[in-house]
Structure 1
Amino acid sequence: MVQKILIVGEQDFSVIPQETLKTFALGSCLGIILLDPVVRAVGMLHAALPDSNLNPAKAAQKPGYFVDTGICYLLKLMSQEGCPPDGAGMLAKMAGGAAVLGQADLFNVGQRNIESARALLSRKGIKIISEDVGKHLSRTMAVNVGSAKVVLSSPGCDNWMI
């Protein structure tokens, strides 16, 4: 089985059933998985910030760093394999968006990432079918392309699925 590892600000997709997409250290960052049940494609994004207006130059250079440009860029990439560029009929799963600093998190980045993703996915008609977001824990997320099963892990916890 082949694993594609994504770091913060990256996005990728696959149509190869034996592949797994994986990302680590989803603290306040948000991991977003897009599923196309027709093409049987799976995409993953590891976004750090909610809104590309915070740094348009960085968004142009690395769209996956932001939830808004990252989702749109991932849809564009997946459309090269026949997925609808507007996301019609696609499904989503999400993990991350933690309040890693607890009450000291004045900027509330994790919650803002979650809200940004929910709003954009809703506008595009992409249904979120499962999520494990918020709380105070860092997560690792892996998705098997063939089964679309998502496994999460966190230090000191047993693995769980969403």
Structure 2
Amino acid sequence: MQMTMNPKQVEVRIGIAEYKISQAPNQLLTVGLGSCIGTIIYDEQTKIGGLSHVMLPDSKPFASRPGLNPAKFADLALPLMVAEMNKKIPHPHFKAKIVGGANMFNFKTSSTSQNIGARNSAAVKATLQKLKIPLVASHVGGNSGQTMVVDLNTFQVTVKIVHQKTVYL
């Protein structure tokens, strides 16, 4: 399946430790999802979506550091993004999809404590649960980098995996 953009469609790029909110007909795109998690939160009625690219699961170990970027952490970025979206949408009915959480470093351990990708995935899922946002699809794990493209017209997520096939959620 080939993705084509209509002339009025804008591709909104989200960097690492950022989130952005946009509306159809735009697309949201983030690259470099290794152990990071890309989370799209979407309202079907308004076709408004927010895409977050978090690096770490929990901000608490870094709380005393000055200049903390909340968009870097699952426990801070998602609630902030949802609060911002709530200002734009009168009666939201959010749902979410997530991509990433790979084990990029192949530690020789069965413990997930060394696997930041698995910890990120668990933290995003827990945060979505706290926010009462259903997770309707995910493509997490593995050991390859991924690019995530979200069509805000349809809520289709295209996952381009390095040296592998493309997946559609």
TM-score in terms of structure 1 length: 0.89
Instruction: Please tell me whether residue 11 in structure 1 is matched to residue 19 in structure 2.
Output: yes
Looking at structure 2, the residues matched to 59 and 35 of structure 1 have their Cα atoms a distance apart, in angstroms, of: 32
Q: What are structure 1's unaligned runs of at least 5 residues?
A: none
Following superposition, the deviation at residue 80 of structure 1 comes to 2.3
Task: Select the residue among 95, 101, 104 that pairs with 2:105.
Answer: 101
How far does residue 40 in structure 1 lie from its aligned partner after superposition?
Answer: 2.1
Structure 2 counterparts to residues 147-162 of structure 1, below 5 A: 147-162=154-169
Q: Label 1:75 to 1:7 Cα distance change in 2 as closer, same or farther (>3 A).
A: same
CA displacement at 1:61 relative to structure 2: 4.0
- 1:31 maps to which residue? 38
Looking at structure 2, the residues matched to 90 and 59 of structure 1 have their Cα atoms a distance apart, in angstroms, of: 33
> How many pairs are equivalent?
158
Change (3 A) 1:14 1:28: same
> Which amino acid in structure 2 is aligned with residue 45 of structure 1?
S
Q: What amino acid maps onto 1:47 in structure 2? A: V
In 2: Cα distance, 1:23 partner to 1:114 partner: 16
* Deviant stretches of 4+, over 3 Å: 57-61
Contact residue 107 and residue 114 of structure 2 kept, 8 A? no
> Which residue of the partner structure matches residue 56 of structure 2?
49
Amino acid at match of 2:95: L
CA 1:120–1:130: 2 relative to 1, 3 Å: same
Q: Confirm or deny: 8 A CA contact 1:52 1:59 kept in the other structure.
A: no
Change (3 A) 1:24 1:13: same
Deviation at residue 103 of structure 1 after TM alignment: 2.3
Equivalent in 89, 93, 96 of residue 89 of structure 1 = 93
1:10: how far off? 0.3
Secondary structure of residue in 1 paired with 2:70 = coil
Asked if structure 1 preserves the Cα contact closer than 8 Å seen for 2:54 and 2:72, the reply is: yes
Q: Which of 123, 129, 147 is matched with 1:140 structurally?
A: 147
CA separation in 1, counterparts of 2:132 and 2:13? 28
**DSSP 3-state at the match of 1:78:** helix
Aligned to 1:65: 72
Question: Secondary structure of the residue that 2:81 maps to in structure 1?
Answer: helix
1:59–1:69 contact (8 Å) kept in structure 2: no
SS in 1 for 2:88: coil
Change (3 A) 1:60 1:46: same
* Deviation of 1:104 (Å): 4.7
Query: Residues 99 and 12 of structure 1: is their aligned pair in 2 closer, same or farther, counting only changes over 3 Å?
Result: same
Residue number in structure 2 paired with 1:77: 84
TM-score using structure 2 length: 0.86
Contact (CA 8 Å) 2:58, 2:75: kept in 1 or not? Answer: yes
